[in-house]
Amino acid sequence: WKGLNDFNSSNRTALYCDQGDPTKGFYKSNQNLHFYWILGAGHF
């Protein structure tokens, strides 16, 4: 995939449910790939 190097070098962004809540996850994306880390989700 031609966007792999850009995706790997991009920073992840924190996700929150409400302002002031602890971080619930992170995401990063490049072109048509969007990757999410959901904290505390367990295995699904």
pLDDT (tens digit per residue) in 10-40: 999 999 998 888 999 999 999 999 999 999 8
- Cα–Cα distance for residue pair 16/18, rounded to 1 Å: 6
At 3, list the tokens: 């966007």
pTM for this predicted structure: 0.74
The secondary structure of the chain in percent helix, strand, coil, rounded to multiples of 5, reads: 15, 35, 50
- Cα–Cα distance for residue pair 14/25, rounded to 1 Å: 6
24 closest CA partner among 13, 36, 14: 14
